[in-house]
């Protein structure tokens, strides 16, 4: 994919280096019907895993990911202070998948976040109902209250699409 000039840095006397970690195609992926898994380590080192309720790129290095604190209270508690987090995003229709890693902390969702969550829930509900899935089953995946937003300072992005390219680094922050 060609470099996006908004996310490209030129060094004097050097070649152009693509600085984008969250490229426009990842922002587009986040706006579609995707399943999202959030993972952070617990204080004891065990993984805490939650389903995401939507996400949005806020530039080349910042990702907001929403989740239900009522469904995942341990995650909300763990993210009350900054720690490592990984988000895996997979488009349901073609399995295009990305894993995004960095440092994150969560806060209660605001009005803008709630609107993003509502839009995400509508996209997922529409997709799965069209495939014949009952609404009560869908709500098990996307329900919940006490909504939170984890803000991730992105340091790494990997292609996790099944196939020979899975695991390939797509972007590393310049400090990596």
pLDDT in tens, 85-143: 999 999 999 999 999 999 999 999 999 999 999 999 999 999 999 999 999 999 999 99
- Give SS3 for 157: strand
pTM for the model: 0.85
138 vs 14: CA distance, rounded Å? 51
Delineate the domains of the chain, giving CATH numbers in brackets: 5-153 (2.30.110.10)
**Model pLDDT, residue 41:** 96
For tokens 């902390």, the residue is 105
21-57: pLDDT as tens digits: 788 889 899 999 999 999 999 999 999 999 999 999 9
> What pLDDT score was predicted for residue 14?
34
Give the pLDDT mean for 63-92: 96
């Amino acid at each position: 994919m060609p470099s996006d000039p908004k996310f490209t840095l030129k060094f004097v006397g050097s070649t152009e280096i693509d600085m984008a970690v969250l490229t426009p195609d990842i922002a587009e992926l986040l706006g579609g019907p995707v399943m999202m898994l959030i993972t952070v380590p617990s204080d004891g080192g065990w993984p805490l895993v939650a389903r995401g309720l939507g996400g949005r790129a806020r530039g080349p290095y910042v990702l907001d990911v929403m989740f239900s604190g009522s469904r995942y209270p341990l995650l909300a508690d763990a993210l009350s202070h900054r720690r490592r987090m990984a988000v895996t995003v997979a488009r349901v229709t073609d399995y295009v998948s990305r894993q995004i890693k960095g440092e994150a902390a969560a806060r209660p969702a605001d009005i803008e976040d709630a609107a993003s969550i509502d839009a995400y829930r509508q996209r997922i509900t529409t997709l799965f109902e069209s495939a014949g899935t009952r609404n009560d089953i869908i709500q098990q995946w996307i329900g919940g209250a006490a909504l939170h937003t984890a803000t991730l300072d992105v340091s790494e992005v990997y292609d996790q699409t099944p196939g020979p390219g899975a695991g390939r680094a797509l972007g590393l922050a310049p400090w990596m």
